[in-house]
Homo-oligomer: A and B are copies of this chain.
Amino acid sequence: MCGATLLPMAFAPVPRASVSDHVFGQLRDAIVSGRYRPEETLPGERELAAAFAVNRHAVREALRRLQQLGLVRVSQGGATRVLDWRVHAGLDLALSLARSADVLPVDTLVRDMLEMRACVGIDAARLCAERGDPEVTAELVRAADEYGTLAPDLDLMNEANIAIWWLIVRGSGNIAYLLAFNSLVAGTFAVGDVPPDARAAELLDVAGHRRLAAAIAAGQGTAAARHARALLTAPVTPTTPAARREARA
């Protein structure tokens, strides 16, 4: 009845990954990192089960998830083949990769996700202004007003910031934007505290968020997009050319 809430956040809930989660993670990393090339055949399920020292069903569950992610292609009777994730994998792979770092450079991945967030967020703000539901825009203004009251606490502000953008993306009426936004939010959350101070300027710009909300509520799409751009491109602009050149290999 006490304890946890009194402790200064020093303890985190112990992660309990199931057996198939481990199998999934190892196979995913092996594929994404290139240890298995595209079109290469994966070992048989029984063989994998023996290698991981787990039951075949656990392997099957992992393979199903890999298949859904677009990393492998299974076919009854035939062998399970590895797919080129750069061609067949969807945005959810980014989230999965963010959770287990070090397969791809994390900082690059975070930068890419922030870049995409800016791209989508700007257009969502425009659309929300142009065809947003009055109720949503009203709630948006309210949320932007309350946003300032959280002033110094970056964690709380980040949370409120996500809520604001969720309203905007939701108000844009574009389901694809909404789903992509979810992927990006979950991805950046998964990497932990990676946006350390790069996003501090963005989060602390209370007036900017208020201006954005006002423009959307007023139905001024162009102005909303401009304000959104001002907020979202800030954490992206400081680029490291070297890391960037690395990424497009």
Chain A residues within CB distance 8 Å of chain B: 16, 18, 20, 57, 60-61, 64-65, 68-70, 76, 86-95, 104, 108-109, 112-113, 115-116, 119-120, 123, 127, 131-133, 136, 166, 170-180, 182-184, 186-187, 241, 244-245, 247-248
A96's closest neighbor in chain B, by CB? B68
Contact partners of A68 in chain B: CB under 8 A: 65, 68-69, 92
Is B115 a contact of A174 with CB atoms below 8 Å? yes
**Is the contact region of chain A dominated by helix, strand, or loop, or is it mixed?**
helix
Is B248 a contact of A131 with CB atoms below 8 Å? yes
Min CB distance A113 to B, Å, is 5
A57's closest neighbor in chain B, by CB? B57
Min CB distance A31 to B, Å, is 14
Report 5 cross-chain contacts, Cβ distance below 8 Å, ordered by A residue: A64-B65, A88-B186, A90-B180, A90-B186, A115-B174
A166 vs B87: C-alpha distance when bound (angstroms): 8
Is A183 a contact of B91 with CB atoms below 8 Å? yes
A180 vs B172: C-alpha distance when bound (angstroms): 18
A20 vs B64: C-alpha distance when bound (angstroms): 10
